[in-house]
Amino acid sequence: MNDLATYRARLAAHPMPIVVDAWAPWCAPCRAIRPSLARLAEEFRGRVDLWELNADESPDIVAGLGIGWIPTLIVFQRGIELGRRTGAQSEATLRELFAAAEQGAAPPPRRLTTFDRAARGGAALFLAALGLSAGPSPWLLLAAGVLAFSAVYDRCPVWQAIAPRLRRALRRPAEGGAP
């Protein structure tokens, strides 16, 4: 049995929900959320377990779980992935993740802040202006369009309809092609 199979078997056999924290010692965002994770692991002790997965020491497991960036936090219940978050998160967002794990539910969807929307929209306008003044440049205009969409994607009904299918399709190879 390889390391990934053993890890998956441990996940499936564990009686409590698990939050797996994929991290690395050199990763600044990983170090930034460690104190919050330690507090939440203590707060949810006996209801949700926190497993730390050093990406440098377990690259096969990280790849097998479909982790492309760190930090990545994945919620598991009896070996089934309920949801994940990538990147540094606020303690409030991490608490929502642990609370969802405790309930055996997927973590709530991420919400963009007004600042996030404004920053993305402003950057898109800047890229569009640059793309138009540069000749026009189709690549800059395309980048501006993608950036503008990233400011409103969570409110787009078409995106909400196709996003779950895209997530399943992108995760299949990491899970050995299983549906």
**pLDDT per residue rounded down to tens, the chain (179 residues):** 358 899 999 999 999 999 999 999 999 999 999 999 999 999 999 999 999 999 999 999 999 999 989 999 999 999 999 999 998 888 998 999 999 999 988 888 777 778 888 999 999 999 999 999 978 889 999 999 999 988 888 788 888 888 888 878 876 554 444 44
**Per-residue pLDDT at 2:** 57
156 given a catalytic annotation:
no
- Ordered by start, the domain boundaries in the chain are 3-108, 114-167
Cα 2 to its chain centre, rounded Å, is 25
Determine which one of 4, 24, 27, 106 is catalytic.
Answer: 27
Determine which one of 11, 19, 30, 94 is catalytic.
Answer: 30
Classify domain 3-108 by CATH number. 3.40.30.10
How many angstroms separate the Cα of 53 from the Cα of each of 50, 59, 62, 63, 67? 10, 10, 8, 12, 11
**Per-residue pLDDT at 177:** 43
27 given a catalytic annotation:
yes
How many angstroms separate the Cα of 3 from the Cα of each of 11, 60, 88? 12, 7, 27
